């Protein structure tokens, strides 16, 4: 029974996993397993992963989805197959620091907690910068209220006690995009106790094909994902969900609408419906933690300055391209 289970969805891109495997081979703490779930790749990625697992000294198990359903469905299979006390997610074209598990061990052995959130590096064009997995937060034990309000949505950069997720039946929804939005807040709430390790240990490759960088992605998956956590958590955490809504329902959805060149009238209508649901959102604490560009975007949304919103969205596309 390994201490940790690494769950990794894969689709077509086994050839990008060199740094992924190298970083796991270098781990100073060895008690972990790797679960790779191929999402019905149309190439030989699945067979390549099987062959690698046979030759590697790492504890690797490879599975396959019944049909192509997106990374969330693949991660759900990983959760079911995991044998570790803890689960974590690493994307197959990313990699981690060689002391990742050693650092997590220090935290879980000295604190009574069921979840660990840690920071990451953003890799772009051979350069990197530190990204924080909490918009607001100091290192140490943090409340569930703070986590729901300020934890970033990405699946990576977090460890969860497996039994807590299973007891509460926390799973990724059947969405192609934004599935992590619906999972992370519910998983954190199910764990009930969290430690924030303010140390970058994960290397995230910024992808031009990701949701917020796409000019073709529809915004409805983000809205559906947020509706899931509203239904699950709003009654208990109304102020926290309001804080979270600013980055997800307002910034995230309006950015997608602008990139998809939705009509100005549709964008105004959406902003009004959001403001009706979350009045005085502009007083939320999370806004002060955002970059100047995001604050300008939100200010433009508040006054419904559609030209500026679309201009800022186009700049965003160029910056991540």
Q: Which of 117, 132, 130, 136 is nearest to 287 (CA)?
A: 136
191: pLDDT strictly greater than 80: yes
- The fraction of the chain above a pLDDT of 90, given in percent, is 89
Q: Which residues pair with 61 in a beta bridge?
A: 35
Q: What is the pLDDT at residue 212?
A: 47
Task: Identify which has the larger pLDDT, 178 or 89.
Answer: 89
* pLDDT tens per residue, range 236-245: 999 999 999 9
* DSSP states along 237-291: -HHHHHHHHIIIIIIIHHHHHHHTT--HHHHHHHHHHHHHHSTTGGG-GGGGGS-
- Per the prediction, the chain carries an average pLDDT of 93
Distance, CA of 32 to CA of 37 (rounded, Å): 16
Burial class (CB in 10 A: 0-12, 13-18, 19+), 20: buried
192: pLDDT strictly greater than 90: yes
3-state secondary structure of 154: coil
79: pLDDT strictly greater than 90: yes
Q: What is the pLDDT at residue 321?
A: 38
Q: Calculate the CA 107 to chain-centre distance.
A: 21
Burial class (CB in 10 A: 0-12, 13-18, 19+), 229: buried
* pLDDT tens per residue, range 201-232: 999 987 655 544 555 667 999 999 999 999 99
Q: Which of 16, 24, 88, 89 is nearest to 48 (CA)?
A: 16
Burial class (CB in 10 A: 0-12, 13-18, 19+), 81: middle
HSE-CB at 55 with a 13 A cutoff on CA atoms is 7
CA angle 315-318-321, nearest 5°?
Answer: 150
Q: What is the pLDDT at residue 123?
A: 84
Distance, CA of 117 to CA of 271 (rounded, Å): 31
Q: Which of 319, 317, 125 is nearest to 216 (CA)?
A: 317
Q: What is the pLDDT at residue 189?
A: 97
* pLDDT tens per residue, range 124-172: 777 789 999 999 999 999 999 999 999 999 999 999 999 999 999 999 9
Q: What is the pLDDT at residue 300?
A: 98
* pLDDT tens per residue, range 41-66: 999 999 999 999 999 999 999 999 99
* pLDDT tens per residue, range 104-116: 999 999 999 999 9
Torsions phi, psi for 194 (to 5 deg): -140, 140
3-state secondary structure of 303: coil
Q: Which of 149, 156, 202, 153 is nearest to 178 (CA)?
A: 153
């Amino acid at each position: 029974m390994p201490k940790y289970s690494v769950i990794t969805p894969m689709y077509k891109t086994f050839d990008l996993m060199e740094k992924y495997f190298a970083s796991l081979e270098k781990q100073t703490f060895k008690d972990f397993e790797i679960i790779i779930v191929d999402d019905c790749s149309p190439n030989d990625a699945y067979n390549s992963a099987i062959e690698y697992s046979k030759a590697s000294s790492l504890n690797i198990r490879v599975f396959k989805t019944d049909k192509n359903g997106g990374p969330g469905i693949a991660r759900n299979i990983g959760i079911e197959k995991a044998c570790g006390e803890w689960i974590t997610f690493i994307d197959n074209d990313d990699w981690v620091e060689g002391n990742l598990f050693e650092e997590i061990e220090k935290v879980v052995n000295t604190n009574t907690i069921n979840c660990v959130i840690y920071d990451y590096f953003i890799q772009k064009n051979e350069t990197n910068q530190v990204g924080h997995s909490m918009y607001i937060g100091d290192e140490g034990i943090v409340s569930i209220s703070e986590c729901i309000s300020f934890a970033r949505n990405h699946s990576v950069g977090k460890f969860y006690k497996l039994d807590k997720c299973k007891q509460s039946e926390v799973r990724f929804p059947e969405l192609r995009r934004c599935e992590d939005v619906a999972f992370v807040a519910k998983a954190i709430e199910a764990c009930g106790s969290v430690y924030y390790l303010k140390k970058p240990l994960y290397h995230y490759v910024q992808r031009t094909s990701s949701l917020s960088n796409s000019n073709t992605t529809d915004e409805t998956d983000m809205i559906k994902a947020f509706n899931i956590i509203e239904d699950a958590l709003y009654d208990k955490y109304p102020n926290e969900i309001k804080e979270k809504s600013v980055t997800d329902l307002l910034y995230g959805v309006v950015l997608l609408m602008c990139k998809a060149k939705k009509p100005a009238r549709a964008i105004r209508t959406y902003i009004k419906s959001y403001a009706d649901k979350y009045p005085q959102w502009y007083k939320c604490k999370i806004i002060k933690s955002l970059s100047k560009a995001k604050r300008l975007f939100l200010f433009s949304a508040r006054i419904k300055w559609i030209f500026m919103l679309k201009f800022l969205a186009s700049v965003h596309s160029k910056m991540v391209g």
